[in-house]
Amino acid sequence: MDAAEAPPPPPSPAATTTASNVAADRRRLPLPEWQRCLSAVGRFADEKVGRIARDDPRRVAHSFKVGLALTLVSVLYYVTPLFNGFGGSAMWAVLTVVIVMEFTVGATLSKGVNRALATLVASSLAIGAHKGASLVVSSENTESILLIVFIFFVASAATFSRFIPEIKARYDYGVGIFILTFSLVAVSSYRVEELMPLALQRTSTIFVGVAICLCTTVLVFPVWAGDDLHKLAVGNLDKLADFLEGMETECFGENARSGNLEGKDFHDAYMSILSSKDKEDSLCTLAKWEPINRKFGFRYPWSQYQTLGTLCRQCASTMEALASYVAILRKYQYPEANPQLYMKVQKTCSQMSMYSARTLRELSSAVRSMTTPSAMNKDLSAAMKSANGCRNELLQDSALLQLSDMVTQINEITESVNNLARLARFKNPEKARNDVVINVRSQ
């Protein structure tokens, strides 16, 4: 080893502390308050904001896209000839852009369509209510009372409909816009003489706002919910494999002493799989709004990802139960009490984990590259064979039965991936390889 590379001899702890404290004091002393504030803010910006941007650079792109869409709307307002066509309601276009622009193409499209439809339905209904009221009643006062009664009942009924789960999941935003537009148009109808042109103008500005949002979101760095859902599924499969590999070292390794699994990497992987359900469901809903995403195309079997996700979460639960069980064994000095049985547990666990982890890795890489996984997975059959072979052995320590349950679940995951590959018409790996060979030869 080179002398320059060798670390300096460690000084005694007391000396280090005092020396570094003095140095730190000296360094800190001359800094005035505002400079320290600034450096703290700078550090915060660098750490926190930088991390958020680095974690997903699409966030930065999205922020600039919102800025761009608002700029386009403002230009529409500033360039007078264009603006004349929209009148004072150009602000509705600004409002639409701020509310409709979402992170993914699917969310923007779904919000835009919700907004446009709700506006149309609500304005028609409000204008109808106004015409109806003026037909029935002659005095203006009675008409306004009638309209207020309308507003009360329509708003109450629409608000109640938001508690119905199906409506809450898909149309909550649309119902909100419906209440807003209905009240506004019904209220204005009393004061504004020419109602129809105003309603038309507002509706058209809202359409312009939605169009600007859609163009910006599709044409400038589009973020597809479908891509995220696909990555989430691949990530879950990888995390299951990580968990199995981590469990091996953490639970049976030399340093595995504590019975507490919290805070360990593989435990975090488990928690993130378990909590992926909400994200998965919402991405799935949004992905269906994106038939224009070329990578997946029209009528892609998105619901299959939910099936796969459910199986992954079940499998993660079994793995976690197994890991916590092994951790408890160690906590109560089980290895020392029953060394023979513990060795057997360890051996079986290691084998099955290894085979299972390999199977999961193969599945994840198949989904990632969108190729059909090989028909019969060697590793999986080895794991299942091993599980069946030692069932009698397993019965000696009942907890090991969980292991064989896990292998069964991984088998179900394999079937689900095969289903996905069939329904989504994944490429055939043999054919894909041949294509590559042909391409190489023809060059």
**Residues engaged in binding its own copies (CB under 8 A):** 48-49, 52-53, 59-60, 62-64, 66-68, 70-71, 73-75, 77-78, 90-91, 94-95, 98-99, 144, 147-148, 151-153, 155-157, 159-160, 163-164, 176, 179-180, 183-184, 186-188, 190-191, 317-318, 320-321, 324-325, 328-329, 331-332, 334, 337, 391, 395, 397-399, 401-402, 405
Give bridge partners of residue 371 from the DSSP assignment: 427
Minimum gap (Å) between residue 313 Cβ and its own copies: 11
Residue closer to its own copies (CB basis): 144 or 365 = 144
Question: Using CA atoms in the order 41, 47, 51, 57, what is the torsion angle rounded to 10 degrees?
Answer: 50
Indicate the helix (H) or strand (E) that contains 347: helix 339-369
Query: Helix, strand, or coil here: 12?
Result: coil
Determine the Cα–Cα distance for residues 323 and 335; give it in Å rounded to an integer: 15
Q: How far is the CB of 213 from its own copies (least distance, A)?
A: 13
CA distances, 398 to each of 317, 392, 393 (Å)? 18, 10, 9
Q: Which is nearer to its own copies, 5 or 336 (CB)?
A: 336
What's the min distance (Å) between Cβ of 84 and its own copies?
Answer: 12
C-beta separation of 188 from 72 below 8 A: no
Q: Which residue's entry shows tokens 């890991």?
A: 323
For its own copies, the closer of residues 297 and 339 by Cβ is: 339
> What is the smallest separation between the CB atom of 64 and its own copies, expressed in angstroms?
5
Closer to its own copies by CB, 286 or 363: give it: 286
Nearer to its own copies, 9 or 81 (CB): 81
Whose Cβ is closer to its own copies: residue 75's or residue 169's?
A: 75
Least CB distance to its own copies at residue 159 (A)? 4
Look at residues 192, 23, 214 and name the one whose alpha carbon lies nearest to residue 116: 214
CA dist 310 and 409 (Å) reads 11
Residue 138 or 443: the one with the smaller Cβ distance to its own copies is 138
Minimum gap (Å) between residue 379 Cβ and its own copies: 24
Between 321 and 370, name the residue whose CB sits nearer to its own copies: 321
Cα 190-196-201 angle, rounded to 5 deg: 110
The span from the CA of 288 to the CA of 107, in Å, is: 10
Residue with structure tokens 């929209």?
86
388, 333 Cβ separation under 8 angstroms = no
Judge contact between 360 and 418, C-beta under 8 A. Answer: no
CA distance 244 to 354: 8
- Cβ at position 220, least distance to its own copies in Å: 13
DSSP 240-302: HHHHHHHHHHHHHSTT---S--TT-HHHHHHHHHHTTHHHHHHHHHHHTT-TT-TTT-TT--T
Give least dist CB 36 to its own copies, A. Answer: 22
Pick 23 or 49: Cβ nearer its own copies: 49
Nearest distance from C-beta of residue 401 to its own copies, angstroms: 5
User: In angstroms, what is the minimal distance from the CB of 399 to its own copies?
Assistant: 5
Task: Rank residues 31 and 152 by Cβ distance to its own copies and give the closer one.
Answer: 152
In 79-164, which ranges are continuous DSSP H helix?
A: 80-84, 90-100, 105-136, 140-161
